[in-house]
């Protein structure tokens, strides 16, 4: 009996919760039980505790499951990656993007991708919520923060790098801040959310400054603040990747370059994620590579499991 087939059956039993549930995936209960028993005989120990109503893993069974599940995921992913090169880049790709990043960075860059692959169709959802990719049938998503879900594979796109900026017209009228304390004389556009406060933290050469950001506008929607900054209303602290195109277009200007803006509790790295069980289709791979290249300034690197 094929070792990998028995291991796959064992994984199915654990994840389905019973022999009968695993058998519904295309086998018989007796065949499933026989394969697990054969695996136990080869290992010389019991991996599953059986009862009439429930199934549980033994301690060595849980260790074995965790190891072989990771191996099976890697093997399926490798097979998918190889076979995907024979596929054409066409059809619908369902994508979930963060609102600010999708609107300001990714969507404006899509014409280049779609010109290269005219038979590719993108179905895009803009949300900062972490949707269930498998339940929602989403192929690729962009998330902020670590991805601990073992059913997902994540690749880092960009670290958190917060900067201070405003429009050229605003600084022409109100002057350019030279130190963090100068911000007390400026209209600060403040992001408010459960993990964010109105304190902007700066550091330079071992010295720190905590600035109580004050202004006439605050919002929990980063696009509101970004629009306000573009409209010459004030100074904003924002992740660099969000405003990169606007800086290149000179619609916004970065200030206080000599100071590091410390990340707040809500800041984190940006990841592109996709379901590990589904594998990466050719069209999904093309989109992931497109995102990595788009954020190449941050040198996105492969990241294991945790590792949006």
Domain ranges of the chain: 3-84, 91-156+277-303, 162-261
Q: What average pLDDT is seen over the chain?
A: 83
Helix axes 282-294, 107-116, angle to 10 degrees: 130
The confidence score (pLDDT) of residue 52 equals 54
Mean pLDDT of 270-289: 84
CATH of 162-261, one of 1.10.10.10, 3.30.2350.10, 2.60.40.1930, 3.40.190.290: 3.40.190.290
67 or 176: which leads in pLDDT: 176
- pTM, entire model: 0.58
212 or 28: which leads in pLDDT: 212
| pLDDT at 53 exceeding the cut of 80 | no
Of 86-100, 167-181, 226-240, 243-257, the range with the lowest mean pLDDT is: 86-100
* Interatomic CA distance for residues 87 and 291, integer angstroms: 20
Q: Pick from 305, 163, 178: which is nearest to 246 by CA?
A: 163
Q: How many other CB atoms are there within 10 angstroms of residue 55's CB atom? A: 18
115 or 221: which leads in pLDDT: 115
Adjacent-strand bridge partners of 254 = 165
User: 91-156+277-303 maps to which CATH number?
Assistant: 3.40.190.10
The DSSP H or E segment spanning 56 is strand 55-57
* Interatomic CA distance for residues 209 and 33, integer angstroms: 64
- What radius of gyration do the chain's Cα atoms show? 25
User: 3-84 maps to which CATH number?
Assistant: 1.10.10.10
Which DSSP category does 52 fall into?
A: S
* Interatomic CA distance for residues 128 and 100, integer angstroms: 9
| pLDDT at 78 exceeding the cut of 70 | no
Helix (H, G, I), strand (E, B) or coil at 291: helix
The confidence score (pLDDT) of residue 214 equals 92
Enter the tokens of residue 209: 């400054």
% of the chain exceeding 90 in pLDDT:
35
What backbone phi and psi angles, to 5 degrees, belong to 8? Answer: -65, -40
Helix (H, G, I), strand (E, B) or coil at 123: strand
The confidence score (pLDDT) of residue 266 equals 52
Helix (H, G, I), strand (E, B) or coil at 263: coil
| pLDDT at 307 exceeding the cut of 50 | no
Q: Pick from 64, 248, 73, 226: which is nearest to 149 by CA?
A: 73
At 67, is the pLDDT very low, low, confident or very high (cuts 50, 70, 90)?
Answer: confident
Note whether 162 and 222 are within 8 A (CB).
no
- Residue 105 burial (10 A CB sphere; 0-12, 13-18, 19+): buried
* Interatomic CA distance for residues 30 and 37, integer angstroms: 10
Of 154-158, 219-223, 282-286, 295-299, the range with the lowest mean pLDDT is: 295-299
Mean pLDDT of 273-285: 80
| pLDDT at 107 exceeding the cut of 90 | yes
The confidence score (pLDDT) of residue 87 equals 62
The DSSP H or E segment spanning 99 is helix 99-101
The confidence score (pLDDT) of residue 9 equals 87
The confidence score (pLDDT) of residue 267 equals 57
At 80, is the pLDDT very low, low, confident or very high (cuts 50, 70, 90)?
Answer: low
254 or 98: which leads in pLDDT: 254
* Interatomic CA distance for residues 226 and 205, integer angstroms: 29
Same fold for the pair 3-84 and 162-261: no
168 or 70: which leads in pLDDT: 168
């Amino acid at each position: 009996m094929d070792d990998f087939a028995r291991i796959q059956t064992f994984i199915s039993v654990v994840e389905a919760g019973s022999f009968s549930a695993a058998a519904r995936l295309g086998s018989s209960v007796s065949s499933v039980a026989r394969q697990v028993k054969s695996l136990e005989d080869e290992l010389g120990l019991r991996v599953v505790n059986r009862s009439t109503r429930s199934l549980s893993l033994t301690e060595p069974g849980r260790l074995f499951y965790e190891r072989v599940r990771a191996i099976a995921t890697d093997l399926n992913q490798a097979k998918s990656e190889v076979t995907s090169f024979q596929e054409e880049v066409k059809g619908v790709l369902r994508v979930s993007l963060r609102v600010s990043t999708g609107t300001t960075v990714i969507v404006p860059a899509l014409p280049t991708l779609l010109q290269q692959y005219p038979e590719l169709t993108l179905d895009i959802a803009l949300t900062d919520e972490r949707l269930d990719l498998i339940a929602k049938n989403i192929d690729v998503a962009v998330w902020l923060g670590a991805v601990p879900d073992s059913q997902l594979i994540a690749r880092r796109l960009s670290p958190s790098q917060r900067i201070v900026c405003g429009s050229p017209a605003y600084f022409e009228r109100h002057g350019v801040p030279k130190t963090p304390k100068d911000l007390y004389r400026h209209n600060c556009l403040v992001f408010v959310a459960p993990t964010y406060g109105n304190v902007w933290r700066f550091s330079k050469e071992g010295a720190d400054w905590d600035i109580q950001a004050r202004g006439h506008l605050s919002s929990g929607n980063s696009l509101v603040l970004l629009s306000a900054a573009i409209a010459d209303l004030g100074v904003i602290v924002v992740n660099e990747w969000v405003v990169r195109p606007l800086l290149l277009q000179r619609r916004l200007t970065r200030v206080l370059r000599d100071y590091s803006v410390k990340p707040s509790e809500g800041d984190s790295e940006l990841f592109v994620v996709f379901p590990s069980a589904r594998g990466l289709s050719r069209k999904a791979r093309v989109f992931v590579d497109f995102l990595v290249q788009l954020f190449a300034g941050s040198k996105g690197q492969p990241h294991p499991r945790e590792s949006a």
